[in-house]
Structure formats: structure tokens, C-alpha cells
A and B are shown apart, each in its own frame.
Chain A
Amino acid sequence: MPDITRRRALTATAALATTAAVAALAAPAASAAGHDHPMPMPQPPSTFDEVYKGRRIQGRPMSGGGHHHEHGGGFEVLIDGVPLHVMRNADGSWISVVSHYDPMATPRAAARAAVDELQGAPLLPFPTN
């Protein structure tokens, strides 16, 4: 890919324009597929700290920085203090390692989906290689 194209693809402007177009296209398709996860405009995710179904879920800007497994745009999610591997998609939606094929609108929604999926089981720390 020519360098100019790559720079354009990486700018926030391009990301916003792409997401707006994609959100308009994705909404009817998502409901047709039985999903109900509206795609958000990209913006810094909100910090959260709450007890959901008896478990503490936290989302916050990552401390330390530069971590090898940091794929959430500098944002980390924890369940009962254990890091949940999360990832931000190009359209601003989020997935986690326990719900990897089903994007959620926010990291809080991904954390809640993980608690639902875990059914009380402890999360294991992911390898930090």
C-alpha cells in the first residue's frame, strides 16, 4: 500500500468517516443476524467500576503502558482483579477473549458479557510473553 494511503487510513478523520458509513450499513444487517449490539462512534471509553452479578468489573486507562498484549487502545478491563484480554475493533466495538466473535458496543458491555459467559468461574490471567 502506498505510504500516503496508509497514513490516511490511520488518521482519526478516516476512521470516523469509515465508521459512520459502516454503522449505517451494519445496523440492518446486525438485526437480520439476530444481534442487538449497536455500533458506537469511536470515542475514548468511559472508566467504570461496578459489581455485576456479584463480581467486580473494572475498566480504566492502562497503567504502565506499552504492554505487549495491549490491544484495547490503552484501556484495560479486569474481572475480580484479573485482566480480561479485550480488543477494540476498527468500528469502535469491543470483543474479549471469552466472547471473541461477538462484538459489543463498549468495554463495559464486553466485561458484562464475560461475566455472563463465565457463570461464576474464575478468569485465568492470560500469558504475558
Chain B
Amino acid sequence: MTVRKNQAALTTDEKKRFVGAVLELKRNGRYDEFVRTHNEFIMSDTDSGERTGHRSPSFLPWHRRFLLDFEQALQSVDSSVALPYWDWSTDRTTRAALWAPDFLGGTGRSADGRVMDGPFSASAGNWPMTIRVDGRSFLRRSLGTAVRELPTPAEVESVLSIPTYDMAPYNSASDGFRNNLEGWRGVNLHNRVHVWVGGQMATGVSPNDPVFWLHHAYVDKLWAQWQRRHPGAGYAPTGGTPDVVDLDETMKPWNDVRPADLLDHTKFYTFDS
């Protein structure tokens, strides 16, 4: 059984194996298909139309399945690898071990945002930007520039305490746990982390930065924590909602999996704590 660990607790060998598997998916072309899929959904999910991957109740199960696909791809390279998560409410500075050269590398240089160290720097030669929205072909970051602070534990707690999963109109204007976690409303958790990292992470092609997976693995863990906190509350809506994935409807692009199939993460993996 896969155990997803806090990135801060990974051993040197675990970091090395994770990085090695990610680089192999990049080399064999599978990585960029994940970037392409994410960008296609982010450009087509709209508040007034069909919405599946973002700004909708299925934001959480869609990303759970997307991460499962990616984790399985990693495990096809190295079966010992699991997705780590980044608790950005705790490891909230640029000095976190996450950003060290033996893991994801640090922030970009000021002139052009280019990441200069670590296995994903352009100079290391293993991380070309293939799926991109502009002419730049190197990984960029600007940690803590566009927004200064990552969410605090108190802000996370305030969102976990919201008792309702999601509410009409089931989009970026909704109240409820999902939209406050996604960040279009309220203290802003998930969206703000994308903005804090900057570079490709702030764009539709955000999976170009490997931290995408560690960010979403923690967002996914917060969903699991919310479920334990509110055992009587379930996914909504539960049927007949135009443009929105109901509990028992299948989700694109897979078309064979429903939110109902993804509510219990323990069928697929557990967390270290």
C-alpha cells in the first residue's frame, strides 16, 4: 500500500528516487501529457458552463484521480516511490528543505525568474518546457513575490471547520468548504499557493513545476482531514445538476470514474499521519 509522506520527513534516498522517477517520465514524454491535460481543463472549465477540473465540486475528486494517475506513472518507473505532500502552512519559507538543490531547487533569479539550481533547472539539461504558453523554455519561480505569505495553520483550520462540502451555484462564487479550499472565496488556500510560487505554477501549465504534485497532495490531504472532521457531510451535488459532475456521474477525461469512487482515499493510499 502506498504511503504518502510529508516532504519534510523524506530521507535523502527517498528524495533521490522521487526526483529520478519524475525525470524519467519527463524523458520518455509521459510527463508532458499531464501538463497538457491540466491546461486543457483549466482553459475549458468555466463558471457559466461545463466545469470539471476546477471551480466546481469535482475540483477535489478530479485532482485526486489526476494525482493517482501520476503516482502510478511514477511507480511504473520505481515501485518504491509515493507522492510526498507539502504542508505549506508549516514549511512556509524559501529556506524549507523542499527548495534545496537535492530536491526541487530554489527560487528563480530576479532578472528572468530562471531557476538556477536543483535537478529541474534549465542548466541541468533535463527539464525542457515543452507544453508552454509563452516563448520561455526554462523553469521559472518567484517564491513569495506576487503574494508575500503562504496560508497559516489558523487559516487552514478556519476552512476545515466549514461544515458544507459545496453549495449552489457550484462554481467560483460558491460558499462552502470546496471553494474556500480552492481559494476563489475567503482566506484563499490553494490558489494563493500557486501565486506564491510564481513562474509556471501561476499559469495554466502549472504542472510544469514538480511542486504542483506536492501542493495538490496536501490539498488532497486536507480533503481527507475535512471528511474525518465532518463524517456526516458528503459530496454535493448528488444529482441532476447541469454542467456540474454529480456524485454518481462519470468525470472527463477518464469517463469511467465517479466522485463516489474517489471519496475514500484509503482504497488507494494512506498518509503518514
Q: Which residues of A contact B (CB under 8 A)?
A: 1-2, 5-6, 9-10, 18-19, 22, 25-26, 29-30, 32-35, 69, 71, 85, 87-91, 97-103, 117-119, 121-124, 126
* Chain B residues in 8 Å Cβ range of A10: 48
B136: contacting residue among A2, A34, A87, A121, CB under 8 A: A121
Segment touching A, from B16-24, B73-81, B164-172: B164-172
- Picked from A34, A90, A117, the residue with its CB within 8 Å of the CB of B149 is A34
In angstroms, Cα B49 to Cα A71, docked, is: 9
Docked-complex contact A90 and B186, CB < 8 angstroms: no
How far is it, in angstroms, between the C-alpha of A69 and the C-alpha of B44 when the chains are bound? 7
Is A32's CB under 8 angstroms from B191's CB? Answer: no
Write out the residue numbers on chain B whose beta carbons fall within 8 Å of the beta carbon of A118. Answer: 134
Q: Which one of B63-71, B236-244, B259-267 is at the A interface?
A: B236-244
Q: Write 29 A-B pairs (CB below 8 A) sorted by A numbering.
A: A1-B237, A1-B240, A1-B244, A2-B240, A5-B168, A9-B168, A10-B48, A18-B169, A25-B185, A29-B185, A29-B187, A33-B147, A33-B187, A33-B188, A34-B149, A35-B188, A69-B43, A71-B44, A90-B48, A97-B203, A97-B205, A100-B202, A101-B190, A101-B191, A102-B147, A117-B202, A123-B133, A124-B132, A126-B43
CA distance A22 to B169 in the complex (A): 13
Q: How far is the CB of A122 from chain B (nearest CB, A)?
A: 4
> Contacting B134 at CB < 8 Å: which of A1, A26, A69, A98?
A98
Interface size class of B (residues with CB under 8 A): 35 or more
Query: A124 contacts B147, CB within 8 Å?
Result: no
Residues of A within 8 A of B171 (CB): 90
Is B104 positioned at the interface, with any CB of A under 8 Å from its CB?
no
Chain B residues within an 8 Å CB radius of A6: 242
Q: Please name the residue on chain B nearest to A123 by beta carbon.
A: B134
Residues of B within 8 A of A (CB): 39, 42-44, 46-49, 55, 112-113, 132-136, 146-149, 168-169, 171-173, 183-188, 190-192, 194-195, 202-206, 237, 240-242, 244
Q: Which residues from chain B contact A97 at a C-beta distance below 8 Å?
A: 39, 42-43, 133, 203-205
Cα–Cα, bound, A105→B173 (Å):
15
Q: Quick one: given A97-B133, A121-B134, are A1 and B241 in contact (CB under 8 Å)? A: yes
**Is B43 within 8 A of A122, CB to CB?**
no
Q: Is the CB of B242 within 8 A of A35?
A: no
Distance of A124 Cα from B242 Cα, bound (Å): 33
Cα–Cα distance between A5 and B184 once the two chains are bound (Å): 22
- How far is it, in angstroms, between the C-alpha of A91 and the C-alpha of B147 when the chains are bound? 21
4 closest Cβ contacts across the A-B interface?
A90-B173, A101-B191, A101-B194, A90-B47
- Cα(A99)–Cα(B169), bound, Å: 24
CB of A109, distance to nearest CB on chain B (Å): 14
CB neighbours (8 Å) of B149 from chain A are 33-34
CB-CB under 8 A for A85 and B204, given A5-B168, A34-B149, A90-B173: yes
B146 to chain A, nearest CB (A): 7
* Cα distance, A9 to B170, chains bound together (Å): 11
Minimum CB distance partner of B112 in chain A: A119
User: Least Cβ distance of B36 to chain A in Å?
Assistant: 9
| Measured CA separation A33–B155 after assembly (Å) | 10
Please give, as numbers and ranges, the residues of chain A lying within 8 Å of B43 by CB-CB distance. Answer: 69, 71, 85, 87, 97, 126
- Give Cα A1–Cα B240 distance, bound, in whole angstroms: 5
Contact of B173 among A5, A30, A87, A91 (CB under 8 A): A91
